[in-house]
Amino acid sequence: MTGRRIPPRVLTFAPLVLTLATCLNARPPATPDISSAPVASSPPAPPPMADAGGALAQDAPPEPVKELPRGGRTIFPEHRLVGFCGTPGAPALGELQGNLPAKAKALETRAAQFADGRKILPVFELIAVVVQGYPGSDGKYRRRVVDSIVDDYLRAARRSKALLLINIQPGQSDFLSEVKTFEPYLREPDVGVALDPEWAMKAKQRPGAFWGQTTGGAINDVAAYLSDIVKEGDLPEKVLVFHEVVRSVVKDESTVRPYPGIVVVKSVDGLGPVGSKIATYGNLMETMSAGVHPGFKLFFDEDTRNGSHLMSAKQVLALSPKPEYVMYE
């Protein structure tokens, strides 16, 4: 990643030398007749300043307003977010891996089904911190993708005029520490964050053997951090998603609140047949805090086992509350 720095413009002010001419032995002028004197014109404007190279100084052009990929600076209610998630080399973790241009076209086709009066804003949710079943060199049970992968996904998202979300499965690390490692990307106007609390493990807990857990306070810490970035960079609104599969993975959820410039989305991750998913969605929406937006996840594999089928866009939009973020894994 490279940032742009505008070098300071140095102005050298050349002193103005005024020469006064005097006339010796001149007779004092007669008192003028002010009744017939012409009205004096405005004094001439001072000459323009010159820079060190002698060129006339000009005002720097204003910075262009930073906007979302498809225009504007606010997420809701103008848009509905529809996305794919995934990470390279792990098909089981979602569709968003492999041939990214092909996946982007497939996402665009699916997303179009959700256009019910809102503009569609596609989302690439890259699992950038991936939980592991072994501790690794630092004992944190997670690995981070390298920057070159994030770069690839960001380029692909921009070609599709989509948002990129950095998904965090922290293992025995913590959300805020992991999010901060991606700060250069988060200073971009089209990059947000998604949190996976079910993979936030306590000390001595191995992923897969226990449900992970986070707190409303931990989610708020990430929101506050992102809010500062938005303010400092005069960025458009950023998306912060937290995925929830059962109530126990987010403790004190009632404390979750939106921060300036941050749109918080609670995405329900229920698996299985249609009836079960709808019931899970209704149950978890009961604990959603005021100001948080509803989201819903669909699974190409788990939702279609044992003769079940993937919910249609019409079925998803019939949920109450209507999801504002629809994610496919």
**Is the Cβ–Cβ distance between 206 and 141 less than 8 Å?**
yes
DSSP one-letter code for 56: B
How high is the pLDDT of residue 61? 79
Q: Are strands 163-168 and 119-131 parallel, antiparallel or unpaired?
A: parallel
pLDDT band at 52 (very low <50, low <70, confident <90, very high): low
Per-residue pLDDT tens digits for 60-93: 778 889 999 999 999 999 999 999 999 999 999 9
d(CA 199, CA 170): 6
Q: Are strands 163-168 and 142-144 parallel, antiparallel or unpaired?
A: unpaired
Per-residue pLDDT tens digits for 6-31: 333 333 333 333 333 333 344 344 44
d(CA 102, CA 160): 11
Structure tokens at 220: 């708020």
Report whether pLDDT(322) > 90. yes
User: What type of residue is 234?
Assistant: D
Structure tokens at 26: 């001149």
Average pLDDT of the segment spanning 185-209 = 95
pLDDT band at 48 (very low <50, low <70, confident <90, very high): low
Sign of CA dihedral 24, 28, 33, 34: positive
Domain extent listing, the chain: 79-328
Name which residue leads in pLDDT, 264 or 24: 264
- Determine the topology of domain 79-328 in CATH: TIM Barrel (3.20.20)
**Is the Cβ–Cβ distance between 312 and 274 less than 8 Å?**
no
DSSP one-letter code for 112: G
